Amino acid sequence: MESLKERLSHGRVHMTLIDPASQDDEKSVQIAVEAEKAGTDFIMLGGSTEIDSAKMDRAVKAIKSKVSTGIILFPGSSAMISRYADAIYFMSLLNSKDREYIIGHQRKASMLLREMGMETISMAYLVFEPGMTVGRQGKADLIGREDWKKALSYALAAEMMGMDLVYLEAGSGSPTTISPSVVSKLKETLRIPVIAGGGIRSAASASELLRAGADIIVTGTIAEKSSNVLTELRPIVEAVHSFPSTHD
Phi, psi of 53, deg, nearest 5? -65, -25
- Residue 166 Cβ vs ligand 1GP, minimum distance, rounded to whole Å: 13
Stretch of residues binding ligand 1GP (CB under 6 A), selected from 2-10, 23-31, 99-107, 195-203:
195-203
Say if residues 73 and 89 touch (Cβ distance below 8 Å): yes
Per CB under 6 A, the list member of 75, 76, 193, 197 interacting with ligand 1GP is 197
- Residue 218 Cβ vs ligand 1GP, minimum distance, rounded to whole Å: 5
- Residue 126 Cβ vs ligand 1GP, minimum distance, rounded to whole Å: 12
Say if residues 88 and 72 touch (Cβ distance below 8 Å): yes
How far is it, in rounded angstroms, from Cα 146 to Cα 200?
A: 17
Applying CB under 6 A, what is the total number of residues that bind ligand 1GP? 14
Tell me which residue has its CB nearest to ligand 1GP: 197
Pairing of strands 216-219, 87-93: unpaired
How far is it, in rounded angstroms, from Cα 220 to Cα 239?
A: 16
- Residue 132 Cβ vs ligand 1GP, minimum distance, rounded to whole Å: 8
How far is it, in rounded angstroms, from Cα 28 to Cα 9?
A: 29
Task: Tell me if 17 contacts ligand 1GP by CB under 6 A.
Answer: yes
Per CB under 6 A, the list member of 200, 214, 229, 233 interacting with ligand 1GP is 200
Pairing of strands 119-127, 13-18: unpaired
Backbone torsion region of residue 213, taken as left when φ is above 0, otherwise alpha when ψ lies between -120 and 50, otherwise beta? left
Per CB under 6 A, the list member of 199, 203, 229, 240 interacting with ligand 1GP is 199
Residue 167 half-sphere exposure toward CB, CA atoms < 13 A: 26
Query: Three-state SS for 243?
Result: coil
Closer to ligand 1GP by CB, 85 or 222: give it.
222
Stretch of residues binding ligand 1GP (CB under 6 A), selected from 77-85, 87-95, 96-104, 196-204:
196-204
Query: Among 57, 53, 63, 141, which Cα is nearest to 97's?
Result: 141
Task: Tell me if 219 contacts ligand 1GP by CB under 6 A.
Answer: yes
Per CB under 6 A, the list member of 39, 104, 130, 173 interacting with ligand 1GP is 173
Closer to ligand 1GP by CB, 17 or 240: give it.
17
Per CB under 6 A, the list member of 69, 96, 106, 221 interacting with ligand 1GP is 221
- Residue 134 Cβ vs ligand 1GP, minimum distance, rounded to whole Å: 6
DSSP conformational letter for 158: H
Query: Among 174, 190, 191, which Cα is nearest to 127's?
Result: 174
Task: Tell me if 169 contacts ligand 1GP by CB under 6 A.
Answer: yes
Which residues sit at the interface with ligand 1GP, rule CB under 6 A?
Answer: 17, 169, 172-174, 197-200, 218-222
